[in-house]
Structure 1
Amino acid sequence: MSSPAALARPYKIPESVLVVIHTPDLQVLLLERADKPGFWQSVTGSKDAVDEPLAETARREVREETGIDAGQLRDWEFSNRYEIYPVWRHRYAPGVTHNLEHVFGLTVPAGTAVRLAPREHLQYRWLDWRAAADLCFSPSNAEAVLQLPRFLRGGPR
C-alpha cells in the first residue's frame, strides 16, 4: 500500500527537456541549482505527463524557472540519453537509471529580465557561450551549449 506522501509525489518521467536560453550575440543564461550549489545548468525539466508535448514541457519549464516567455522556442531536433546521477535517482521509479533529454533553443534580447524560482535556483549568470559550456556540470548540457553557433547558422531543425 502506498503512503500518502508517495501518492502526492509521483515518480518523475524519465523524459525531459534542456533549453539553452541565449541572446543573439551568444550570451547564454546559466542557473545555479539550489539543491546542489556550484552546479550550473541551462533550464531543464521533466514532462509532467507522458503525453505532454515536449515544446509545452520546455515552455513550462522556462516560465517556471526564469519567468521568461518562451514564445520563440526552437526545437533543435536532437536528444541525449544519459545515466541519471545517483543522487537524483530516488525521484524516478525503481530500476530507472537513464533519461532521454530533448534539446531546445530560445533566443531572447540582451537585458531580458530573469525571475528565478528560489526553490530551484540560487542565482543566474549570462556568459559567453564558451564560458557557459565550461561551467555546465552536465556533459550533455555543455555539449548543447557548444552546438549553439551551429544551430544559429541554420543547422538541424
Structure 2
Amino acid sequence: MTHKIPVSVLVVIHTPELEVLVMERAGQPGFWQSVTGSVDALDEPLDQAAARELFEETGIVADGRQIALRDWNLSNVYEIYPVWRHRYAPGVTRNTEHVFSVQVPRDTIITLSPREHLQYAWLPHLAAADKCFSASNAEAILQLPAFTFL
C-alpha cells in the first residue's frame, strides 16, 4: 500500500446565494463535508489537485471560465484523526490542508462518487458549517462570505 501524502485540498462549493454543497461520507455515515482529498504526488500543483478532487467527488469540471476555482491562499494544519492515521506513513500525525472555493449555479448537476459519498445537500452556509464534522471545513464555510465578495 502506498501511503497518503499529508497535504490536502478542501474545496467549498457554493452558489451565488451562499448555499453550500455538503456530502455525507460513504465510509463514515453521519459525517458531512465539502470536497477534500490529498495530493497524488508531492509535485502535484494544489490547484490541479483541487480540480481533480472536485471532478472525482461531484462530477463538476472547473473549466476556468464559467466554473473557476478560487485559491484562498489559506492553509490549515490539523491533527489527523487516529482512525485514519493508518493511511499515512508511520509517525505522520498532522496534515496541511489548502482551501479553495468554487461558485456554481444552483442547478448544477452533481454526480457523487458512490465510493466516497452517500448523499448530498445544498444548505445555507451557516447550516452547512454546523453540519460538517471537520472543524477546518466548518471554519472555511463560515469564512465564505468574506472570500466570495473580495
TM-score grouping bracket, smaller chain normalisation: over 0.9
Aligned match of 1:35 in 13, 27, 32?
Answer: 27
The AA in structure 2 aligned to 1:93 is A
1:104 corresponds to which letter in structure 2? F
Tell me the equivalent position of 2:130. Answer: 134
Equivalent residue number for residue 63 of structure 1: 55
TM-score, normalised by the number of residues in structure 2? 0.96
Note the C-alpha offset of 1:66: 0.3
Unmatched segments (≥5 aa) in structure 1: 1-5
- The equivalent residue for 1:52 is 44
2:91, 2:148 → 1: CA distance? 38
Query: Stretches of 4+ moved more than 2 A in 1?
Result: none
Q: State yes or no: 1:75 paired with 2:67.
A: no
- In the alignment, the residues of structure 2 paired with residue 61 and residue 130 of structure 1 have an alpha-carbon distance, to the nearest angstrom, of 24
What is the DSSP-based 3-state SS (H/G/I as helix, E as strand, rest coil) of the residue aligned with 1:35? coil
SS of 1:89's equivalent in the other structure is helix
| In the alignment, structure 1 residue 111 sits paired with structure 2 residue 107 | yes
Q: CA RMSD in A?
A: 0.5
Aligned counterparts, 1:84-95, within 5 A: 84-95=80-91
1:153 is the counterpart of 2:149: yes
* Matched residues, number: 146
Q: Deviations over 1:69-100 (max 9, x none)?
A: 12300001101000000010000000000000
Matching residue of 1:3? none
Identical aligned pairs, as a percentage?
Answer: 68
Measure how far apart 1:153 and its partner are: 1.8
Unmatched segments (≥5 aa) in structure 2: none
- Structure with the greater alpha carbon radius of gyration: 1
